[in-house]
Structure 1
Amino acid sequence: MASPIALGHAGWLRPGPYRWVRALGWLCLLTILCVAAFNVAADASLRLAALAAGETFVSRAASPAGARLLAVLTGSAAMLGVYAAAVALVERRRVPEVGLARLLPDLLGGLLIGGLLIAAIVAPMWGAGWVRITTTPVTHIAEALKQSVQSGVIEEVVMRIILFRLLWRAIGVVPALILTALVFGGLHLSNPDSSLFAALCLIAGEGVAAGLYLLTGRVWMAIGMHAGWNFAQGWIFGAVVSGTDGFGGGPLRTAPAEGVSAFLSGGGFGPEASLSALAVSLIASIAFLMAAWKRGRFVTDPPPDKDGAAAPADSDRRTEESP
């Protein structure tokens, strides 16, 4: 069951002069609040874990893998809680995008989608001989879970229900989709072995998470898809993920075949920077966005009237709401 897509119609985002400016300012402040909440809570969790073990906290990297996983779960809960509280207070509304009723099925569905997409990318690469896949002993999993949860929660909260939502509020849905995708791809240009082509592949796949958010009105399926994508790519297939190799320890090892161009194998950035990834990501993005369009999900919920009830939908309302 889909929740309404709530951009915010009251409080700081009430209609009036310079609402687009107010939306952009709130975007920046909300991002800072949520990221800070994650880091403060995660750091506190690690310090408490060290204290309970009778050890001295040195750094996050020096903490045990299990403690780091617990810290990420704690930080994720804090980030989502701060988001819900801040939005309810500043925008004066309910926060269906982080409602808990559909959390588990949305997460599981997203995990499945992310894993299947990576399998659809890697399978033709292996069949064409662009990558080699070998079996390896399973050695550990906590670090891969930690990395997957962390990337899924932080990146989807920031990119989907802060950046995309508030850009939509400020400038309309299509510009918001484009700018969010460009920001996501651009942020990965600083990763090891990144390239413009790698960024293009990531941009092509942004429509998947955006489509899942549009279809459900909640962030959970996008989080699950992102985490499942990274976990399947890094732990199950044992490939590099966005230029980093901290996800390993699983049953397989996937590496570029000798003499094959990075354009085909993904090179040091991983399979998500390959021709196969570009094709699969683009097709999947179009499919999910088209599904959202056909279901009328590019139109937001109408603002409440003065009595608090939902106002009737305007038949000629634009799909891209004006600021």
Structure 2
Amino acid sequence: MTDVQRGMEVGRRRVLHPGPLRWLRALGWMVALFVVFTMIYAGAQVIESPISGKAGHGAAVLGVAAVCLAGLALYALVVRLAEGRWPEELSLRHAPLDLALGLLIGALMLSAAVGGLYAMGVYDISGPRSASPWSTIAMAIESGVMEELLMRAIVLRLLMRAFGIWPALALQALLFGALHLANPNATLTAAIAIAIEAGLMLAGFYLLTGRLWMSIGVHAAWNFTQGWIWGASVSGIPVKESWLVSTPKPGAPEFLSGGAFGPEASPAAMVVGTTVAVVVLWMAWREGMFKARPDATPETVAAD
């Protein structure tokens, strides 16, 4: 990467061109995109139940995947039209490796957190048992793709365009945690834990690569491993089918086990997620990704 190319691509043209009130234009564009893609995310969630009821959970996975792919394609199109660029954050060249590494990292991280809870003596683990993974796969795809598109490619990127990296990191993490307050069994402690261990950690993978794919993989694998493999509640939502079953021991302190919200509200997940966040954010900083890509010169704009 040359000196001119160093930094995150956060948008520099058309609606985000240099000039007066660029920060306000970035915020307005962020809100517009957030509303549109939240509706698409809701559509992915709504489509799963009717399809799975009529054609089985495997068909639901295909339906959810189709909605998510359509969402990514729409994002690429609107960014091309409104920002004058094809989004590097969706570059397909590195997608297979980024996704594979993300899936591996997410599975290992969540397994380390559950293993920590078991070693602390606050969790019971039973099984294995026969269970279909399809419903959890659909949930992992829709949350991994759509939440990363919303929170990292839209919120983090455009807050970085408006205010710089540090306010952007803090605000997107706080928003990510606050949105989880709407989940079943949510508590303020759980929301703070999500903001730190997941909001900062997932942002770190996006910043490190400049692409969404690794954070999508980490997010999806974290949820799938937590829900189907270990059978623990996913962000407060109990799972119906799982290979293993992991639950807090009766009488275990909620501040240690995470309670009904699940492992994500526990100190074990906080330690794992925060440690990874610090390491990955440091790596991103070393790579020069804590600053926006320099604005295009007039010659470059003319060439485009």
Q: TM-score, normalised by structure 1?
A: 0.86
1:96-135 to 2 correspondences below 5 Å: 96-135=88-127
Match of 1:233 in 2: 226
Query: The residue matched to 1:17 in structure 2 has which SS?
Result: coil
Q: How big is the shift at 1:41?
A: 7.7
More helix by share: 2
Number of residues of Structure 1 aligned to a counterpart in Structure 2: 297
1:284-295 to 2 correspondences below 5 Å: 284-295=276-287
Unaligned ranges ≥5, structure 2: none
1:301 maps to which of 293, 296, 302 = 293
Distance 1:257 1:150 in 2: 31
Match of 2:161 in 1: 169
Do the aligned partners of 1:42 and 1:75 also contact (CA within 8 Å) in 2?
no
Q: How big is the shift at 1:136?
A: 3.0
Judged with a 3 Å threshold, the aligned counterparts in structure 2 of structure 1 residues 40 and 130 are, in CA distance, closer, same or farther, namely closer
Match of 1:72 in 2: 64
Please report the RMSD computed on the Cα atoms of aligned residues, expressed in angstroms.
2.2
Query: The residue matched to 2:298 in structure 1 has which SS?
Result: coil
Letter in 2 for 1:72: V
Letter in 2 for 1:110: G
Query: The residue matched to 1:308 in structure 2 has which SS?
Result: helix
Do the aligned partners of 1:121 and 1:276 also contact (CA within 8 Å) in 2?
yes
Match of 1:32 in 2: 35
Q: How big is the shift at 1:102?
A: 1.0
Do the aligned partners of 2:30 and 2:155 also contact (CA within 8 Å) in 1?
yes
Letter in 2 for 1:238: G
Q: How big is the shift at 1:3?
A: 9.0
Query: 1:207 and 2:210 equivalent?
Result: no
Letter in 2 for 1:153: V
Distance 2:41 2:148 in 1: 13
Do the aligned partners of 2:140 and 2:224 also contact (CA within 8 Å) in 1?
yes
1:218 maps to which of 207, 211, 224 = 211
Q: Deviations over 1:64-83 (max 9, x none)?
A: 32222111100110100010
Query: The residue matched to 2:250 in structure 1 has which SS?
Result: coil
Q: How big is the shift at 1:33?
A: 2.7
Q: How big is the shift at 1:305?
A: 1.1
Letter in 2 for 1:142: W
Q: Sequence identity of aligned pairs in percent?
A: 40
Bigger Rg, which one: 1
Do the aligned partners of 1:241 and 1:269 also contact (CA within 8 Å) in 2?
yes
Match of 1:320 in 2: none
2:128 maps to which of 119, 136, 139 = 136
